[in-house]
């Protein structure tokens, strides 16, 4: 039975990915998280669903002593690393925080993997590593030119992984470059149980914020920039459903065991929607009108980010099942109504 370390899985993507690993394999998972942006409710949901196959330890990744103790006491087969700071505008004003939490702590984690001979690593990377790509949809071979410290901090982690896997031939990783993730676990029973979804203290992600407005939890949603060189002037993003993203990690895990080599994959659907289109779709799905505000551009936001997902489709078993904007929005909205 595999014993897997998940960092940051009290958070949105990590908890849903843990759900699918526990559901679809017979692994055990140890989750570490400092609960800075994660929620104990996500851990409780996993514990109540999967019992003692999951354990949680509150650890900050910067705590080298606790981390070393954890590696000493557990025989991990694989590490899936989600823990990070991830608010782009915040990274612009607090770059040191981002290099510290995202790059330095990832370096410490990889070092322990090498020391304790843990040879499989799955990394949460991001489309932000591309910056403003010249060609859309963007492929994994595009130059990495991040335009904010968040993207740079993740790019540096990718470079560390690349160099370490070159130097230590047994160490293999998959870096998944997520595009915009949204929605709530489709296995949720929205009538009588609080399930996994995009819990967040101060949400900044568009679908989440717009669904909060539709659910009456927030007054308005801002459109940051209406003068981009796009079809309606607002930014365009590729929205991927959380369950499909979680399942991409399982495909990455299979890939590592099957091929014993490292790879980088985009995870998106290859289709873009503008901010204005998303807001209209949320209003349509929820049948609720809410206020929108045309605000200035935010620092660090590229105009257009759409994935080319041919590589993950051709090299892994990943086949997206929920490639539909309204399905994504409906799950996010239903979740918002009961949470």
Ligand X SMILES: NC(=O)c1ccc[n+]([C@@H]2O[C@H](COP(=O)([O-])OP(=O)(O)OC[C@H]3O[C@@H](n4cnc5c(N)ncnc54)[C@H](O)[C@@H]3O)[C@@H](O)[C@H]2O)c1
Q: Would you please indicate which residues are annotated as catalytic (active-site) residues?
A: 150
> Residue with structure tokens 């980088």?
264
What is the rounded CA–CA span in Å between residue 174 and residue 158? 10
Nearest residue (CB) to ligand X, 107 versus 288: 107
Identify which of residues 82 and 171 has a Cβ nearer to ligand X in the complex: 82
CA dihedral over 335, 87, 150, 301, signed as positive or negative: positive
Residues comprising the chain, all counted: 339
Other CB atoms closer than 10 Å to residue 169's CB: what's the count?
A: 10
State yes or no: residue 83 binds ligand X (CB under 6 A): yes
Q: For ligand X, which residue of 25, 27, 35, 66 counts as binding (CB under 6 A)?
A: 35
Angstrom distance (rounded) from CA 108 to CA 103: 9
Q: Is 129 in the site for ligand X (CB under 6 A)?
A: no
Nearer to ligand X, 24 or 62 (CB): 62
Q: Is 122 in the site for ligand X (CB under 6 A)?
A: no
Q: Are 28 and 2 in contact (CB under 8 A)?
A: yes
Identify the residue among 3, 44, 62, 75 touching ligand X (CB under 6 A): 62
Residues between 144 and 203 that touch ligand X (CB under 6 A): 178, 180-181
In whole angstroms, the minimum distance from the beta carbon of 303 to ligand X comes to: 17
Q: Which of 3, 10, 1 is nearest to 200 (CA)?
A: 10
**Stretch binding ligand X (CB under 6 A), from 27-35, 221-229, 308-316, 323-331:** 27-35
216: left (phi over 0), alpha (psi -120 to 50) or beta: left
Among 4, 5, 12, 279, binds ligand X (CB under 6 A): 12
Indicate whether 8 belongs to the interface with ligand X (CB under 6 A): yes
Closest to ligand X by CB, 105 or 152: 105
Least spacing, CB of residue 1 vs ligand X, in Å: 25
Distances (CA, A) of 248 to 84, 121, 251: 19, 14, 5
Distance CA 279, CA 188 (A): 24
Angle between helices 64-73 and 105-115 (to 10 degrees): 30
Report the nearest approach of ligand X to the CB of residue 88 (Å): 10
DSSP letters, 310-333, are HHHHHHSS---S---HHHHHHHHH
Does 236 bind ligand X (CB under 6 A)? Our answer is: no
331 binds ligand X (CB under 6 A): no
CB of 59 to ligand X, least distance (A): 6
124 sits near ligand X (criterion: CB under 6 A): yes
Contacts with ligand X by CB under 6 A lie at 8, 10-14, 33-38, 60-62, 82-84, 86, 101, 105, 124, 126, 178, 180-181, 205
């Amino acid at each position: 039975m595999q014993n897997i370390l998940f960092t940051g899985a009290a958070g949105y993507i990590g908890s849903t990915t843990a759900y699918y690993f526990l559901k679809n394999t017979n692994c055990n998972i140890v989750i570490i998280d400092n609960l800075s942006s994660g929620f104990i409710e996500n851990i409780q949901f996993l514990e109540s669903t999967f019992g003692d196959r999951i354990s949680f330890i509150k650890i900050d990744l910067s705590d080298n002593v606790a981390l070393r103790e954890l590696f000493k006491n557990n025989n991990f087969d694989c590490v899936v690393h989600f823990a990070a700071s991830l608010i782009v505008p915040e990274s612009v004003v607090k770059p040191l925080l981002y290099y510290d939490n995202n790059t330095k702590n990832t370096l410490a984690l990889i070092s322990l993997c090498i020391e304790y001979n843990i040879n499989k690593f799955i990394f949460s990377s991001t489309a932000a590593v591309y910056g403003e790509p010249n060609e859309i949809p963007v492929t994994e071979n595009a130059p990495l030119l991040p335009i904010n410290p968040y993207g740079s901090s993740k790019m540096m982690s990718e470079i560390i992984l690349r160099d370490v896997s070159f130097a230590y031939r047994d160490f293999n990783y998959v870096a998944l470059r997520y595009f915009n993730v949204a929605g709530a676990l489709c296995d949720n029973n929205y009538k009588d149980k609080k399930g996994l979804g995009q819990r967040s203290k101060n949400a900044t992600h568009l679908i989440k914020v717009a669904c909060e407005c539709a659910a009456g939890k927030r007054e308005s949603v801002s459109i940051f920039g209406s003068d981009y060189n796009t079809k309606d002037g607002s930014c365009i993003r590729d929205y991927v459903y959380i369950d499909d993203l979680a399942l991409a990690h399982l495909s990455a895990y299979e890939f590592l065991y099957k091929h014993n080599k490292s790879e980088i994959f985009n995870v998106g659907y290859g289709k873009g929607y503008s901010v204005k289109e998303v807001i209209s779709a949320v209003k349509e799905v929820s049948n609720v009108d809410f206020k929108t505000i045309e605000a200035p551009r935010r620092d660090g936001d590229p105009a257009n980010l759409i994935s080319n997902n041919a590589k993950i489709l051709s090299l892994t078993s990943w086949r997206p099942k929920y490639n539909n904007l309204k399905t994504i929005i409906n799950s996010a909205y239903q979740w918002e109504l009961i949470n």
